[in-house]
């Protein structure tokens, strides 16, 4: 995520909690071989890969905190807190529908301090139900002007296509998710014309640990060329685990924005916890 203006927020505590859990997980009672059932990962490696899969057979609930640094002329600290659940719906024996709404909470300190809901972004993917090394999905994406203030959203109704192609074999998981949004109604503000690409490459160990490269690259076609591209580079480290009957993952990562709009985030630390629920 990129912020033009943000400030400190207690959500930064989430990053510390995730780090503490990652450091202390070895002392927890973690089962290394969860019970295998239909639509339920059977090993910790499977749990890690299912968390990364946009077409997962499990119901996933990722909660993420992004803390941006070097924001604006005063190099403020920005914050965004997002929830992006994944709901797989079986249409028939051949097709699934994947529903992925993105709900962001943001805080902006200037020109006036504001905290509230951003624009909600639901996406829908039609994908084959059969499991193979290669999987694809396509569908529509939307952006709703639900922001509680003009500082936190676009003020526009937007829509466009989205699609993803993934590869999963052994310890490797790789894929790319692409979406395009155009505004078609809303307030008299700048139009939305943005392309987003999210490549994901990860190596997942049998123990549940994984290393992941997962940036979100955007290009704003409505902006000046010097401010159009956002390009973060970095890495995440995570751990899948089983605590009692619950599967979950914890991860922490850092990304440097080698290309970004003027006064936007220069680098970001992100922490995420994801709960996986069998269908």
- Domains of the chain by start residue, with CATH: 12-277 (2.40.160.40)
Q: What is the pLDDT of residues 136-183, one digit of tens each?
A: 999 999 999 999 988 889 999 999 999 999 999 999 999 999 999 999
What does the pLDDT read at residue 13?
Answer: 42
What are residue 160's DSSP bridge partners?
Answer: 141
Integer-rounded Cα radius of gyration of the chain: 19
Strands 156-169 and 87-90: unpaired
How far lies 270's CA from each of 26, 31, 237, in Å?
Answer: 22, 27, 11
Q: What is the pLDDT of residues 123-147, one digit of tens each?
A: 999 999 987 899 999 999 999 999 9
What does the pLDDT read at residue 9?
Answer: 41
Q: How do the pLDDT tens digits run along the chain, 279 residues long?
A: 545 433 344 444 445 544 444 444 444 444 444 444 445 678 999 999 999 999 999 999 999 999 989 877 778 888 899 999 999 999 999 999 999 999 999 887 666 777 899 999 999 999 999 878 999 999 999 999 999 988 889 999 999 999 999 999 999 999 999 999 999 999 999 999 999 999 999 999 999 999 999 999 999 999 999 999 999 999 999 999 999 889 999 999 999 999 999 888 899 999 999 999 988
Backbone dihedral angles phi then psi of residue 44, each to the nearest 5 degrees: -65, -35
What does the pLDDT read at residue 19?
Answer: 46
Under 8 Å between Cβ of 67 and 23: no
| Total-model pTM | 0.85
């Amino acid at each position: 995520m990129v912020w033009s203006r943000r400030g400190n927020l207690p959500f930064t505590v989430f990053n510390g909690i995730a780090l503490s859990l990652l450091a202390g997980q070895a002392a927890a009672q973690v089962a290394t071989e969860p019970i295998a059932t239909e639509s339920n990962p059977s090993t910790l490696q499977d749990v890690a890969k299912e968390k990364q899969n946009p077409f997962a057979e499990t119901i996933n609930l990722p909660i993420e905190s992004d803390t941006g640094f070097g924001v604006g002329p005063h190099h403020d600290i920005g914050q965004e807190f997002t929830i992006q659940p994944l709901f797989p719906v079986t249409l028939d024996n051949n097709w699934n529908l994947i529903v992925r709404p993105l709900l962001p909470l943001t805080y902006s300190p200037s020109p006036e301090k504001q905290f509230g809901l951003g624009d909600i972004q639901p996406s829908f993917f039609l994908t084959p139900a059969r499991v193979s090394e290669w999987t694809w999905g396509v569908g529509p994406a939307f952006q709703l002007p639900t922001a509680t203030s003009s500082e936190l959203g676009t003020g526009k109704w937007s829509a466009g296509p989205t699609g993803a192609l993934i590869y999963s074999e052994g310890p490797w998981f790789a894929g790319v998710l692409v979406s395009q949004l155009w505004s078609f109604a809303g307030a008299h503000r700048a139009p939305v014309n943005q392309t987003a690409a999210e490549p994901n490459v990860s190596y997942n160990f049998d123990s549940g640990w994984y290393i992941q490269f997962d940036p979100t690259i955007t290009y704003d076609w409505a902006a000046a060329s010097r401010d159009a591209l956002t390009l973060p580079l970095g890495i995440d480290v995570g751990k899948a685990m089983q605590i009692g009957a619950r599967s979950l993952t914890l991860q922490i990562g850092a990304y440097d924005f080698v290309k970004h709009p003027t006064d936007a985030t220069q680098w970001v630390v992100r922490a995420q916890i994801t709960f996986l629920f069998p269908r």
